[in-house]
Amino acid sequence: MPADLSPIWISLATSLTATAITFVLGITAAAWRERRSGPLFALLDGVFLLPLVLPPTVVGFLLLLLFGRNGPVGRIFLAMGTTVVFSWPATVIAASVVSFPLMYITARAALAQVDPELINAARTLGASEWRAFHRVAMPLAAPGILAGTILSFARAFGEFGATLMLAGDIPGRTETIPLAIYFAVEANEMARAAFWSVIDVGISLALLFGLYYWSQLQSTSRARIERAG
pLDDT of residue 136: 81
Q: Total structural domains in the chain?
A: 1
pLDDT of residue 128: 75
Residue 225 domain-assigned?
no
Instruction: Give residues with Cβ within 8 angstroms of 176, minimum separation 6.
Output: 7, 10, 11, 14, 91, 159, 160, 163
State the 10-residue block means of pLDDT for the chain, 229 residues long: 84 94 93 77 85 92 92 90 91 96 92 81 76 81 86 91 92 93 92 93 82 69 59
Residue 91 domain-assigned?
yes
Quick count: other Cβ atoms within 10 Å of Cβ 166?
28
**H helical segments located in the chain:** 6-34, 39-53, 56-67, 72-79, 88-112, 116-124, 129-132, 138-157, 161-167, 177-186, 190-228
> Which CATH number covers residue 154?
1.10.3720.10
pLDDT of residue 141: 85
CB 150 within 8 A of CB 32: no
Residue closest to 142 by CA, chosen among 110, 120, 103: 110
pLDDT of residue 143: 81
Residue 72 domain-assigned?
yes
Residue 228 domain-assigned?
no
Residue closest to 98 by CA, chosen among 164, 145, 35: 164
Residue 85 structural domain = 6-175
pLDDT of residue 229: 52
pLDDT of residue 219: 63
Residue 44 domain-assigned?
yes
pLDDT of residue 111: 87
Residue 213 domain-assigned?
no
Residue 16 domain-assigned?
yes
Residue 192 domain-assigned?
no
